[in-house]
Amino acid sequence: MRPLARIILTMLARPAMALAITGVMVLYTLLYLWLTGDIAGGGAGGWNATFPAWERAFQSRGPFQFEPVGLVSMGALVWTFSPLNTVLAATMGLLVGLNAVAGWWLWRSPRQCGLGGSSTGLLALIPAFLAGGACCAPLILIWLGLPIAGALVGVAPVLVPVAVLLLLLGLWFSLQRLARGEGLT
Partner 1 sequence: MTPHIARYSTLSIALAMLFTQPTLASPPGQHPPQVPVMHSIEAFREAVRSGGPGKDGIPSIDRPRFQAADQATLSDGDKVIGVYHRGQARVYPQRILVWHEIVNDELGGDALSITYCPLTGTALGFKRGDTEFGVSGKLVNSNLVMYDRATDSEWPQILGVAIDGPLANQGLEEFRVFWTTWGAWKARHPETEVLTEQTGFVRNYRRDPYGSYNPVTGYYAPDSRRLFPVMQRDDRFPPKTVVFGVRGPEGALAITRESLRNEGVIDVVLDERRYTIIHDPGLDTGWAFHNPEAVEIQAAELTFTAAGVTGPGIASLEAVNGFEAMWFAWAAFYPDTYLYEGQEVP
CB of 139 to partner 1, least distance (A): 5
Strand stretches in 39-92, DSSP E: 39-41, 47-50, 60-62, 65-66, 70-74, 77-81
* Nearest distance, CB of residue 142 and partner 1, angstroms: 5
Nearer to partner 1, 9 or 143 (CB): 143
The residue (of 138 and 181) whose beta carbon lies closer to partner 1 is: 138
User: Could you give the CA distance from residue 160 to residue 132 in angstroms, rounded to a whole number?
Assistant: 8
CB of 82 to partner 1, least distance (A): 8
- Spacing of C-alpha 167 from chain mean position: 9
From CA 170, how far away is CA 156, in angstroms rounded?
21
Smallest distance from partner 1 to CB 156, Å: 6
Q: Any alpha helices (H) in the chain, and if so which ranges?
A: 2-13, 15-35, 83-108, 120-123, 125-134, 137-144, 149-153, 156-180
Residue closer to partner 1, measured from CB, 53 or 123: 53
In the complex with partner 1, the residue whose CB is nearer, 28 or 64, is 64
The candidate with the shortest Cα–Cα distance to 40, out of 157, 178, 136, 175, is: 136
Cα distances (angstroms) measured from residue 184 to each of 20, 26, 111, 162 = 22, 31, 11, 33
The helix/strand/coil state of 109 is coil
Minimum distance of partner 1 from residue 154's CB (angstroms): 7
Cβ nearer to partner 1, comparing 10 with 80: 80
Which stretches of the chain bind partner 1, using CB under 8 A? 37, 40-44, 52-53, 56, 60-63, 65, 67-71, 78, 80-81, 136-139, 141-143, 145-147, 149-150, 153-154, 156
